[in-house]
Structure 1
């Protein structure tokens, strides 16, 4: 099932061709890569100036720009809608010649979502004092945290299990926290867009003040589990969680590295050690900026921003 944006939509096993005016595009969406051939019949167009996302053509000819790229390259954007997995990008042409105005042309491949596929945050690598790599993960889980969620539609008021972890390789043990997390209806946070704050102020789960949302006791220092109560925010629309994760030495606690729940009738409580819950007092004001870690970590922040979703909250 492949979509090409020049006024045509074809169902095909592999290929789709689209014609508009004097331009022809051939798009071949394979499982892990995309082949795109853009044929240009207008004279004096420099085919080397075409770009797919941020990728240059793999090869060029007098009238063609040819791209053979992987789906995880060239700034392809992945979206999930129901049972469909969609990859979006833009073919652009930029020229300093005034007679050829810059333009952006959508390119879309749509696949049936595999049953065992679930959305994960993108996985960049973070180095720590020259030894190995760090790999952050986050995912929606089933009710007992034994596997990924089987559905991404949650009834209003139900609990949404989320797990975040950091894979440490040869590093010393690390402890992961969720510093910030907000919900929005777009995969990018817009300055004036609607959003709902869930976690803020360096690990304060403020949604627990008005709901059953909560951090759960840790099973491992490198993992953190949370249950978020499905909230009345853009009911029926796609919702994305924009979160910031941070990995720390698992030694000591302070106001800037914590996981705090609000317990009705009791106040703020530190999940990892309730006897030190005083570090959560700043959740009602402003927690200090994060201090630099031990100098053995160098200047690496070990902070990861990610987008989870989309999910749908049903009434």
Structure 2
């Protein structure tokens, strides 16, 4: 089955502002090749990852990936006549390195073939994080016991969403949702109209006017019961979130899960005794703790997108 392909990173050649690096992206029918070159960098090129994939090859000056779209935790989206595969080129760095970690989007866009039809529904959208962490954002069934069977929700019903992280060698990390907004596009563009769900570093602002709430059964997952809203009624909706995995003993005003309880006020999900951390949800949440090299390594943040889903009258 032939695909007409194009590259979504400025003709597959991007001069990146990170030092003097250059990224070449070649999108093919069912695979892609990416080469990152930086002759002046002090980076360890073995520490690059493309999603969940290790480099195909690397030298002291460049790293290369030759991978299929079925690998590396690529995200697949179909909108209108466009089929898009997206991932992240991640540099994880090392503790003693002078080169800071970073992540850059990698996107291949295709014209959808006339004889191609999507699966009825694939509910899991995974995003590779850093080191040995794998983040997930999923639509669930009503009791969170399995994946959702439909992406259509009636206005006012509950949309069950679960954020989770798989971890191997880390200390136990608490999963939090920093920010979540709904849009009608799979890419969060600066000009896009958005519906705010979670803002201010973990404040479920939608809960002030709805039945939306947080729940938790395990430290490594967070359940969001989101009441279906009127925004973009009848259209395709995408929910964009920042997922955080954080040291459960280092919560503060910027690392928390707060929802609003009627006739009570803001409540901290994981320990209501310290709900004072949620007071800033009505203003601006800023950390009062001084940052140190140690505190910077207590958690990780990754972006993910869920959708499309549809809310009907």
TM-score, length of structure 1 as denominator length? 0.66
Aligned pairs, number: 239
Alignment-derived partner of residue 41 in structure 1: none
Per-residue CA shift, 1:2-58, capped at 9, x if unaligned? xxxxxxxxxxxxx349xxxxxxx7x9xxxxxxxxxxxxxxxxxxxxx99427637xx
Aligned position for 1:233: 231
Alignment of 1:48-127 (within 5 A): 51-52=26-27, 55=33, 70-72=68-70, 78-80=76-78, 87-88=83-84, 106-108=110-112, 110-113=116-119, 117-121=122-126, 123-127=127-131
* Distance (whole Å) between structure 2 residues aligned to residue 105 and residue 174 of structure 1: 35
* 8 Å Cα contact 2:200-2:285 kept in structure 1: yes
The residue aligned with 2:53 is: none
1:86/1:145 CA distance change after superposition, 3 Å: farther
Distance 1:179 1:252 in 2: 15
Q: Do the aligned residues in 2 keep the contact of 1:79 with 1:85 (CA within 8 Å)?
A: no
Q: Does 1:256 align with 2:254?
A: yes
Q: CA deviation at 1:301?
A: 5.3
Is the aligned partner of 1:282 residue 2:283?
no
The answer as to whether partners of 1:174 and 1:250 remain within 8 angstroms in 2 is yes
Separation (CA, whole Å) in 2 of partners of 1:279 and 1:165: 23
The CA deviation string for residues 265-307 of structure 1, in whole angstroms up to 9 with x for no partner, is 2111111111111110000000004857774576585101111
The residue that corresponds to 1:247 in the other structure is 245
- 2:139 and 2:148 in contact (8 A); partners too: yes
Q: Is the 8 A contact 1:256 1:291 kept in 2?
A: no
Is contact 1:268-1:281 (8 Å) kept?
A: yes
The DSSP-based 3-state class of the residue aligned with 2:172 is coil
Paired position in structure 1 for 2:166:
167
Say which of 301, 304, 313 aligns to 2:302. 304
- Higher Rg: 1
TM-score normalized with structure 2 length: 0.67
Q: Residues 119 and 309 of structure 1 are in contact (CA less than 8 Å); yes or no, is this contact kept in structure 2?
A: no
Unaligned runs of 5+ in 1: 1-14, 18-24, 28-48, 57-67, 90-103, 128-132
Report 1:4-43 matches (<5 A): 15-16=1-2
Give the RMSD, CA atoms, in angstroms. 3.5
Cα separation, partners in 2 of 1:292 and 1:185, compared to 1, 3 Å = farther
Unaligned runs of 5+ in 2: 6-23, 35-65, 86-107
